[in-house]
Structure 1
Amino acid sequence: MKIPLIALLLQGIPEQIAVVTLACVIAKLPLKLNKVLLIGVVLAFCAYGIRLLPIPFGIHTIILIILLAIFLAGLGEKDIGRSFFISLVTILALAILEYSCMSLLMVLFGFASEALFNNLVLRILVGEPQVLLLFVASLLLKRYFAKEECWKFEPEVMQD
């Protein structure tokens, strides 16, 4: 399915930046803004390019999971298996939030899913709450991990 360029810029890129942010938080990797932004933009353009190809819908998701795992490994997650698991969990979180937000907004505002394909502005606006929720989830998880870390006790080394 071809994505209009404006949808890529206003919905696709922010969504992928949120995905990378959540993946880094789950992996407990440092959030370096320039790297998160760059990887998010690269993933968004990869999804855009893949969707232009004559391949079945959903293949782009599999490719993005693999690319996200590779990027996580490059950012410092040494275990590639764990990188894939984190990528899967992150994409699952995206799918759950996307489905939940879309379903809720369709009920609240009374439009059908077909309207999303026919109305670009509506499609972009309906996609924004899930992006915001991904960032909120990242923030809450980062705070949780920070609290968890403060309760870890390191053994004191006695100095002679």
Structure 2
Amino acid sequence: MKMRSKGQQMIAASCLAVMAYLALYLFLRPELPEQLVRHAGADGAGYSPTWLVVLVIGAAATLSIAIGIIAYRDFTSLGHWNPGPKSIVVCFVAAGFGILGLGAAMLFTVLGQDAAQLGSLPVGMGLIGLLGVFALSAGLLARALPRAEQEALDD
């Protein structure tokens, strides 16, 4: 496949992932608590409205994915598709997918329960989701995107 079609597939998959995250929240919304833990620290867990936590996670994921897509288009249009630029693109897009995994894991953890009873458990489960989805998507993206050209070393 051409580089252009691989990039379009990445853009389509990214848009679908963000929309699926939004659809998941809207579908689970009746069973979610009003407050969701947003951080866990030495002073305890901090809570915010669930809609706000979901919005911030979605925005952070979208920003990371957008940076990856813009970098992909820039590197390929300039002909700089080497291992370094490819790894930058893979890391940004995979980080965006990982952030969506964090949000989804947090939502599934608090489903039908009171957030205060769970304490910081949603944050821990979210981090496990982030790591799992990041690792899986980084491997898939590295395989799916066009092969990087070897860089010639100058003397």
TM range (shorter): 0.3 to 0.5
TM-score, normalised relative to structure 1? 0.35
TM-score, normalised relative to structure 2? 0.36
Greater share of helix: 1
Greater share of strand: 2
